[in-house]
Structure 1
Amino acid sequence: MYILGYFLQALAGVIHVLLMTAMFVVIARAVLSWVSPDPYNPIVRLINQFSEPLLFPVRKRVPYIGGIDLSPLIVLLAIMFLDNFLVATLQRMAFQMIQGG
């Protein structure tokens, strides 16, 4: 049973890294929206390509409020929730399996 525990522990670590990467990409996209960067810059294009699949589903459901796009905030809250709930739950399950085995 401890093998499954180590697998869950590794899975939790990978999910955590992916969620933190997504968080940094969304934050970078929000910061870039405050300035007018060159849209042909490769870094700007990369950030836009990675963040758009996260932001678009929220953007089409949540209207602009006073000209402010709240989709980055909502996505960041969802990422934080998943990190605090899903990753912590997987780590706790892994710990219990490792200790029990």
Structure 2
Amino acid sequence: MNFAQGFGLSLLQLVLGVFDLYTWVIIIRALVSWVSPDPHNPLVRMLHVATEPVLRPLRRLAPPHKLGGLDLSPLLAILILQFVKNGIVYSLGYSPRFLF
């Protein structure tokens, strides 16, 4: 493997790591929302600021008030992230094992 291939692979792993990190941020936000957190808590505010730009448009597609109050936007966001992540890996010709 030459330098360019190694650099490209490292960059790909970094991008995939960012996808994984953002997935965990969404999961943590969903879990925290179940305990009615203090909205002034810095961690809660950080989670809200980091995830709301992605979750808000998805809430328009599946509004919680039409689903009995169940907000499916975190689940939809995670599914979309995984779909994009898989698409990146497959389009670059790597095997599914690369994802794990």
TM-score (norm 2): 0.78
Contact 1:8–1:90 (CA under 8 A) maintained in structure 2 = no
Q: CA deviation at 1:72?
A: 0.5
Unaligned runs of 5+ in 2: 96-100
- Give the residue type in structure 1 aligned to 2:72: L
Shift of 1:74: 0.4
Match of 1:87 in 2: 89
1:71 aligns with 2:73: yes
How many equivalent pairs are there?
Answer: 93
Query: Which consecutive segments of 4 or more residues in structure 1 shift more than 6 A?
Result: none
The answer to whether residue 60 in structure 2 is matched with residue 60 in structure 1 is yes
Percent identity between matched residues is 38
Rg larger in structure: 1
Q: Secondary structure at the match of 1:92?
A: coil
- Contact kept? 1:9, 1:90, Cα under 8 Å: no
Q: 1:68 to 1:56 in 2, by over 3 A?
A: same
TM-score (norm 1): 0.78
Which structure is richer in relative contact order (CA contacts within 8 A, separation 6 or more)?
A: 1
Measured in 1, the distance between the counterparts of 2:91 and 2:22 equals: 20
Quote the Cα distance in structure 1 between the aligned partners of 2:23 and 2:40: 23
* Cα distance change, pair 6–91 in 1 and its aligned pair in 2 (3 A): farther
CA distance in structure 1 between the partners assigned to 2:11 and 2:93 by the alignment? 9
Structural RMSD (CA): 2.2
Q: How does 1:17-56 map to 2 (within 5 A)?
A: 17-56=17-56
